[in-house]
Chains A and B, each alone.
Chain A
């Protein structure tokens, strides 16, 4: 049902009277000039969407949440989660279970499967007091029932909001969401990477350019090393350490990059038979649990993995085994162990680090972004046997700028980046995209970005009404049917063809007691109505009367007459008056009514109408005076309008007033003048 014609162009309206519905608001509730607790609110045309629902890893309890107080959760139609990372999904159980939110939530299949494992683990591991707990395992399980899944590229429509997602790279199941409301498209990238790695596809370039692109800026203007160099460094370090009889510790978060590194190691071991007796472990129960998800959602990964899958599942590692705890680990000779957490704060990676750090044969490889204040951050700066090789799957500056250049969105909103990185990115992008008139905005948390879209409503006139395309000045009358954001105009008879709606006719049949002569009714009716036709009923042969071609009276028996007509307001009114008349005859027969007085002269009624119109205008506008040439002068707050009562034309400097007066006058006239009885 494509009726959204041209893409609306962004244009700030000159007139301040612009309707609220055309205003698009984007407010970061988190991740505005910061990294963590991603949550972006968007509303347009009465539809509201929330992208992501994360927590800030550096805070705990309520402080870690995005600023949910700024919005009304019950008003949100759709909540879209891009991927399973805590800073994108971890406040979801809270938002679903502890707020008034009643919309629908979507994420991809893989994200949903890992979301549950990851958050359950998070609840168990996080050592906060019970009051500070935002949610418990029960909340997570309950939230699972509310989360709906969608596949990449699958278009979903909710309340007229259309959306679908593209591959984002980054982690398994990560998505970029494109939302289309009434033809205005917004792309939210979440975390994305344009570089294909061992198992993930690179983020796709959407087919259509969005009007607004909300994009991450984690790495600002930094550039990554090419992938093959990083991998070479990584394997070289391990190779040389193992050859010298040392042990390698890789502290890494259990999910995401860890799987990529394991793939690299498994492949390296396959190519180096001499290492086959050196064990590789990944020491994370969570990673072990999630392996089933990685083994299943192969379709979300790249061609390389899918081709390997034709032979065997690449996530069934040949040289790598899981390790449950340090007790199961027999530390004899060289080995490679990947353990969480990535920051060496505590847990298995720290235990191993403490044991191994004293021997200089051993090595520690830190494979990604580490947070300020952790041990890992501290040791990076001491260049001993510690290697920092970034495998982070976020876009770097080169990727971001090419992505934006190919996409060419007229508006860019930067989120998910430290304030100064973001600023530098903005400046650099500004110069690079200088000739494209692109707006780049970096809102802080709770700072709304407002934009106006000149939304052109297009309708499709179809069916009988469209048999001939009308010329300018002709009139079009029909039913306007709106579904979602598509409009159609059609004749009433076509309604059932083009929509699921149907029309109805109600025939009414009523019997009225009447024992007088039928002729009397006819006589009376003729006095009131212009058109009264008499005939006889074909079946029963009784006399009938038809008033204004609407209401039929029939003499059923000596004591009753019956009336029947098809419902519509005018017919109902006519029938009511006929009923009243019949009943009156019953009561008052015989009575002579003086007719002539009842009919007033046309002039008189005209004058009366004049008075009524004036009175109504006064009640509406206050200062109403009679001007010359039958014109009325209306004065509202210094704005003057001249109304021609004959033609209904209005002259005024002020457009708004002119419209109002015109409409008011038209409605008054309709109310005051007699109803035309003839239907077309």
Chain B
């Protein structure tokens, strides 16, 4: 009878991998979240690639890599072409996060999974919604609505409604109100048909509020001792909260150590965030309305988009917030390598690192004494190396020219070479050169104005599908072959700039990279002498509040995703006992059917019937007992008419939720002595009231409270009974 609902996880179940789930509602396929991790491992997207083309709509919930990182790649390479829905901040901050990821990756490797253009075109198809906006998907009878999730700016709990049945997707929500965000409204949904939620934090309980002091103490201690503080942060998510906390702390204690916020997109991030006040917490909106005080007009924080700006900053203790939080790439990685060996410095983690990343390694207890860091890095060539390289280049060019001419001759003589080889060819050259020069030369890249010396300059004449290395393309996998010519166009530009730069001044290298050039190996062991601290500022509901929220929402069916196997299992057992009897924990690519077994039909309530119904008000609800006869209206609808025969007797129902704690003051207000004794409420001298049976479970069991009132035959007994009755509605 009910709406058919199927859930198929594509990634992120029984572990902390990126989130991506396929939810199919009456055959309409939603992809909810499209995440990737900081390693950008294409094998994670295997399940998505199989279903990408069947997806009808994509819903994004948070603006970070774990929730939307794979969107550009999926759109470009996996055939995902559905409309995307998100809130404005998720759209905008997600876009900036992806830019930052891309630029950070470009810095260390020949990153070619997607380009800036791919990011742009993927985000172009995003329809932006506001919170609580009911968006009707045309023709499907499905309504989607984003609701406040907390955690990140624009973070969304999705509600998908069809025929009055709600499917709710809520991951990474936060119950607490924070400096810049309101808490989630998840609790306002009651008894949805299906709730899909995460178990990520099921085993973590947040330390109490004093963590804020710990955070501030740790920072100020290090700075006073002349050390530097590094906060590895995300590009545009939790960092916003941290910035506000630091701003406040600096203002409160009038500190004047510099704070730097360093990502490739920091200035545009803050510019946009300044115009997102509508999406923030009440206190921020209020302060703007009354005094036009925009909380994100940062007074103590300097925004940097380039590491050299940081290096040029005056010496002395400073605090730097830099992306990525995983320390795998980005500025945080570089700064960590520089600072880790100094005991005065502090690296302060505010979120658990993604699994298998440097950050996670460092968060181990006890922290490692030394870590091996991948140092692949595109650096400029200097001195002899450069000359050698240039010679090599000219030699190569000559060879190429020669070969090209040979090819042309061949071409004129013979037919075209086999098609299937064509697209792979340019890559082969790359590979050769990369191998050849890996031990001597590391290409250097970065932002556009940085220099880039690639192993290979494709002569513009031979962008040529006809390049003649036919033999050795077998090592290249699918991902190598699908590269499109655009990539090469960008490289051309880079090359031009690089060439210009080489002609100019090479000596202007910053210290950091100079030291790295000496160490040309792809990895290096970094002595971790600096202080490492982890203080939870993730802004996610912790285990305790997850459980409270779940038992309050009390869905008819519950699907658990995203969380370590232990956490998932733990939460499952908890929910089976306290929340609802239908808890599902699907594996990757396992489709589970959570169609509700709910029966329902619609009837019209006739005016005659309703005029005889006396409602009783109970909180938000009004209730009444009806006995009615079924009839039909002119247009064939079932309708309920007043019953013509005397109503059949029915078992009377007591409606109401009795709380012993509320009953006590009520009775004492009526002049009865009450006290709790042995789990029962003693009223007066003899009468006791008790609750028996399983308490607290809402979903399962009979759902009926069992209350026992005992006492000897006396006047008090009847009086107390009357008071007890007054707590209920009798139908």
A residues near B, CB below 8 A?
A: 1-3, 5, 19, 109, 112-113, 116-117, 141, 144, 149, 151-156, 164, 207, 289, 292-293, 295-299, 309-310, 313, 456-464, 466-467, 469-484, 487, 489, 492-493, 495-513, 567-570, 579, 648, 659, 663, 666, 669-670, 676, 678-680
Question: B654 near A: Cβ within 8 Å?
Answer: yes
CB <8 Å contact, B632 and A472: yes
Between A and B, 25 residue pairs with Cβ closer than 8 Å are A109-B289, A113-B288, A116-B289, A116-B290, A296-B274, A296-B294, A297-B277, A310-B268, A461-B603, A470-B630, A473-B631, A476-B630, A477-B626, A479-B655, A482-B615, A483-B621, A489-B603, A499-B621, A500-B190, A500-B191, A505-B654, A508-B710, A510-B711, A511-B711, A570-B652
Which residues of A sit under 8 angstroms from B643, Cβ to Cβ? 475
User: Does residue B133 face the partner (Cβ distance < 8 Å to A)?
Assistant: yes
Having A109-B278, A113-B289, A164-B134, one finds 11 other A-B pairs with CB under 8 Å, namely A151-B278, A155-B133, A298-B275, A480-B624, A481-B621, A482-B615, A483-B622, A500-B621, A501-B656, A666-B646, A679-B650
B604 at interface by CB-CB < 8 Å: yes
Q: Is the CB of B708 within 8 A of A507?
A: yes
B116 interface hit (Cβ, 8 Å): no
- Tell me if B225 counts as interface (CB < 8 A to partner A): no
A506 near B655 (CB under 8 angstroms)? no
CB atoms of A457 and B712 under 8 A apart: no
Q: Mark B127-157, 1 if CB is under 8 A from A, else 0.
A: 0011111101000000001000000000000
On chain A, the residues within 8 Å of B725 by CB distance are 506, 567
CA distance A198 to B3 in the complex (A): 46
A77 nearest CB across to chain B (Å)? 15
Stretch touching chain A among B453-461, B668-676, B696-704: B696-704
Contact indicator B277/A296 (Cβ below 8 Å)? yes
With A109-B278, A313-B271 already in contact, the answer to whether A477 and B625 are too (CB < 8 A) is yes
Main SS at interface, chain B: mixed
A471 touches B601 (CB 8 A): no
Known: A477-B626, A501-B621, A501-B656. A3 touches B704 (CB 8 A): no
The answer to whether A505 touches B622 (Cβ under 8 A) is: no
With contacts A144-B289, A463-B598, A510-B717 taken as known, whether A297 is within 8 angstroms of B278 at the C-beta atoms is yes
B129 nearest CB neighbor, chain A only: A153
Does B721 interact with chain A (Cβ within 8 Å)? yes
Instruction: Flag if B621 contacts A472 (CB, 8 Å).
Output: no
In the complex the two chains form, is B711's CB within 8 Å of A482's CB? no
B585 to chain A, nearest CB (A): 22
Contact A663 B626 (CB under 8 A): no
Which B residues are in CB contact (< 8 Å) with A511? Answer: 711-713
Given A469-B601, A474-B630: A503 in contact with B655 (beta carbons within 8 A): yes
B416 at the interface (CB under 8 A from A): no
Whether A505 and B705, one on each chain, are in contact in the complex, defined by CB atoms closer than 8 angstroms, is yes
8 Å CB contact of B627 from A19, A313, A477, A483: A477
A649 → chain B, closest Cβ, in Å? 9
B288 touches A3 (CB 8 A): no
Pair B134/A155 contact, Cβ less than 8 Å: yes
CA distance A298 to B652 in the complex (A): 59
Please name the residue on chain A nearest to B292 by beta carbon: A292
Q: Are B601 and A501 in contact (CB under 8 A)?
A: no
Q: Nearest-CB distance from A500 to chain B (Å)? A: 6
In angstroms, Cα B621 to Cα A501, docked, is: 8
The answer on a CB contact under 8 Å between A680 and B651 is: yes
B693 smallest CB distance to A (angstroms):
9
B728 at interface (Cβ–Cβ under 8 A)?
A: yes
Report if A479-B623 is in contact (Cβ < 8 Å); known contacts: A299-B88, A456-B604, A460-B600.
yes
* Shortest CB distance A96–B (Å): 15
Among B161, B556, B653, B712, which residue has the most Cβ atoms of chain A within 10 A? Answer: B653
Say which one of B403-411, B436-444, B606-614 lies at the interface with A: B606-614
Which residues from 272 to 310 on chain B have a C-beta closer than 8 Å to any C-beta of chain A?
Answer: 274-278, 285, 288-290, 292, 294
Complex contacts, B630 vs chain A, CB 8 Å: 470-476
Which residues from chain A contact B640 at a C-beta distance below 8 Å? 459, 476
* Given A152-B130, A296-B274, A463-B599: A567 and B654 interface contact (C-beta under 8 Å): yes
Q: Which of A149, A460, A472, A509 contacts B631 (CB 8 A)?
A: A472
Are B638 and A470 in touch, CB under 8 angstroms?
yes
Contact A459 B624, CB 8 Å, known A144-B290, A299-B278? no
A484 proximity list for chain B (CB < 8 A) = 620
Given known pairs A112-B289, A313-B271, A503-B653, the reply for A480 and B623 (CB within 8 Å) is yes
CB of A501 within 8 A of CB of B657, answer yes
| Contact status B605-A670, CB under 8 Å | no
The yes or no answer to B658 lying at the interface (CB within 8 A) is yes
Interface residues of B in 643-692 (CB under 8 A from A): 643-644, 646-658
Q: How far is the CA of A577 from the CA of B277 in the complex (A)?
A: 69
> Does B649 contact A680, Cβ atoms closer than 8 Å?
yes
Complexed CA–CA distance, A512 and B730 (Å): 27
A164 to B1, CA, bound (A): 32
User: In the assembled complex, how far is the CB of residue B121 from the closest CB belonging to chain A, in whole angstroms?
Assistant: 16
Q: Are B628 and A476 neighbours in the complex by a CB distance under 8 Å?
A: yes
Contacts of B278 on A, CB cut-off 8 Å?
109, 149, 151, 297, 299
- Cross-chain contact A475 with B703 (CB below 8 angstroms): no
Q: Complex: how many Å from CA A477 to CA B630?
A: 10
Q: In the bound complex, do residue A460 and residue B601 qualify as a contact, i.e. CB atoms below 8 Å apart?
A: yes
B343 at the interface (CB under 8 A from A): no
Q: How long is the Cα–Cα vector from A483 to B164 in the complex, in angstroms?
A: 14
With both beta carbons as reference points, the residue of chain A lying nearest to B136 in the complex is identified as A207
Complex interface: chain A residues within 8 A of B713 (CB): 510-513, 579
For residue B731, CB closer than 8 A to chain A, the reply is: yes
Which of A3, A481, A493, A663 counts the most B-chain CB atoms under 10 A from its CB?
A481
Residues 16-57 of B at the A interface (beta carbon under 8 Å): none
B709 touches A507 (CB 8 A): yes
Query: Given the complex of chains A and B, what is the CA–CA distance between A405 and B190 in angstroms?
Result: 40
In chain B, what residue has the closest Cβ to A18?
B607
Measured in the bound complex, the distance between the Cα atoms of B492 and A46 in whole Å is 71
Closest to A495 in B: B655
Whether A506 touches B712, Cβ cut-off 8 Å, given contacts A2-B164, A480-B625, is no
B618 at interface by CB-CB < 8 Å: yes
Of B271, B601, B708, which is within 8 A of A509 by CB? B708
Within 8 A of A (CB), among B201-224: none
Which residues B555-602 have CB closer than 8 A to chain A? 556, 598-602
User: How far, in Å, is A21 (CB) from chain B's closest CB?
Assistant: 10
Do B621 and A670 have beta carbons less than 8 Å apart? no
Partner of A482, one of B276, B621, B644: B621
Take A153-B130, A459-B602, A492-B651 as given contacts and tell me if A501 and B618 are in contact as well, using a CB distance cutoff of 8 Å.
Answer: yes
CA distance A489 to B618 in the complex (A): 16
Interface centre among A117, A293, A310, A511 (most CB of B within 10 A): A511
Choose one: A156, A481, A493; the contact of B623 (CB below 8 Å).
A481
Contact, CB under 8 Å: B130 / A679: no
Question: Does B474 sit within 8 A of A, measured CB to CB?
Answer: no
Closest Cβ–Cβ distance, residue A586 to chain B (whole Å): 11
Tell me if B496 is interfacial: C-beta within 8 Å of chain A.
no
- B16 → chain A closest CB, angstroms: 33
Contact B631 A466 (CB under 8 A): no
Residues of A within 8 A of B88 (CB): 299
Q: Whole-angstrom distance between the alpha carbons of A91 and B600 in the complex?
A: 49
Are B709 and A458 in contact, with the CB atoms below 8 A? no
Distance of B144 from chain A, by nearest CB (Å) = 12
Q: Is the CB of B604 within 8 A of A477?
A: no
Tell me whether B533 is interfacial, beta carbon within 8 Å. Answer: no
Tell whether, in the assembled complex, residue B130 and residue A154 are in contact, meaning their CB atoms are under 8 Å apart. yes
Interface membership of B163, Cβ < 8 A: yes
B342 on the interface (CB 8 Å rule)? no
Smallest Cβ-Cβ distance to B625: which chain A residue: A479
Given A459-B602, A502-B656, A507-B708: A293 and B292 within 8 A (CB)? Answer: yes
Whether B654 and A504, one on each chain, are in contact in the complex, defined by CB atoms closer than 8 angstroms, is yes
Contact present for B658 and A297 (CB under 8 Å): no
Q: Is the CB of B704 within 8 A of A504?
A: yes
How far apart are B99's CB and chain A's nearest CB, in angstroms? 12
CA separation between A493 and B650, bound complex, in Å? 13
